[in-house]
Amino acid sequence: MKKKTTFEKKTAIVTGASSGIGKALALSLAEQGAYVMLAARREDLLKEIVGQITDKGGRADYCVTDVSQAEDCKRLVEKTVQNWGKLDLLICNAGISMRANFDDVDLEVIHRLMEVNFFGTVHCTKYALPYLQQSKGCLVGVSSTAGIHGLPWRTGYSASKFAITGFLETIRLENMKKGVHVMIAYPGFTTSEIRYHALTADGSAQGCTPRNESSMMSSEATAAHILKGIRKKTQYQVSFTDIVVYFAKFLCKRLLNHVVYDMMAKEPDAPTKE
């Protein structure tokens, strides 16, 4: 007899579900018995992943969604509730990165980062929250090490991740007595497509990764870490690297600044101007 899991017959939305952490979260949730709505912009990939889930007897659907568009997010939530009658879990995972010196960057790049990463979280939360309040469900925002300490050449990315923290911490306080669990996840460097699609100074995609992907945590391991935090109802789910960064930020900030700068400056073709 299959053991019942925390997510059995729970209804979940995962944004940024076409690849990386989002895809791993969707597959794992479905495997554990959840009804999963996958959201992203690439319909072909969404169809493929939903097919993988349904072929194994899981329950899933998709909704092509640009989270920077409020109406898309509204449609996403409405489709989920129409399909399954409720919403228990929203994971705001969709995001893009950047790699450019602020001296050179087109301001539209910063706006784009905020629109997708921050406002994407705001839009989805706005339309999902009434249903999460009804189900006493869970809201998750996927942040980053860049949301704990600024990373050079990632101004828009760090700003958007810090903004997500402030937004979700406030949502948590406003819903303390409404039974909604709000968690902010801070995964460390994870193997995914995010660095390939990172925006450069002029807004074009980087097209490659400047880091050794093989040395990073897998998307599947990161997804498992996030789902563990949801099961335990933690407020923050932090990787070991982020724990070190967090405490170093308060205990030896000047040293941490040099360490972070030197680490990022070692990337091939780092846009440093010394």
Choose the catalytic residue: 127, 157, 246, 261: 157
Confidence grade of residue 198 (pLDDT, cut at 50, 70, 90): confident
- Look up residue 152 and give its two tokens: 């050079």
Tokens 């563990």 locate to 228
Query: Torsions phi, psi of 69, nearest 5?
Result: -105, 115
Q: Residue 117: is its pLDDT beyond 90?
A: yes
Question: CATH number for the domain including 182?
Answer: 3.40.50.720
Compute and round to an integer the Cα radius of gyration of the chain.
18
What tens digit of pLDDT does each residue of 54-99 get? 999 999 999 999 999 999 999 999 999 999 999 999 999 999 999 8
Q: Measuring CA to CA, how many Å separate 94 from each of 118, 168, 208, 247?
A: 10, 15, 19, 27
Note down the domain range covering 191.
Answer: 11-241
Indicate left, alpha or beta for 130 from its phi (over 0: left) and psi (-120 to 50: alpha).
Answer: alpha
The one-letter code for the residue type at 19 is S
C-alpha 103, offset from chain centre: 27
Is residue 39 assigned to a domain? yes
d(CA 55, CA 66): 27
Is residue 203 assigned to a domain? yes
C-alpha 128, offset from chain centre: 16
Is residue 197 assigned to a domain? yes
Query: Torsions phi, psi of 140, nearest 5?
Result: -125, 135
Is residue 252 assigned to a domain? no
User: Which of these ranges, 18-27, 69-78, 101-110, 202-211, has the smallest mean pLDDT?
Assistant: 202-211
Contact 65, 79 (CB under 8 A): no
More confident residue, 213 or 174: 174
pLDDT at 246: 55
Is residue 268 assigned to a domain? no
d(CA 211, CA 198): 13
Bridge partners, residue 90, by sequence: 13, 139
pLDDT at 90: 98
Average pLDDT over residues 242-262: 62
pLDDT at 266: 67
- Tell me whether residue 157 is one of the annotated catalytic residues: yes
Q: Measuring CA to CA, how many Å separate 137 from each of 14, 125, 257?
A: 14, 12, 38
Nearest to residue 31, comparing CAs of 14, 48, 13, 54? 54
Is residue 196 assigned to a domain? yes
pLDDT at 238: 78
pLDDT at 1: 39
Which residues make Cβ contacts (< 8 Å) with residue 86, sequence separation at least 6?
Answer: 11, 131, 134, 135
- Look up residue 36 and give its two tokens: 């999963």
Number of domains, the chain: 1
Is residue 69 assigned to a domain? yes
Is residue 88 assigned to a domain? yes
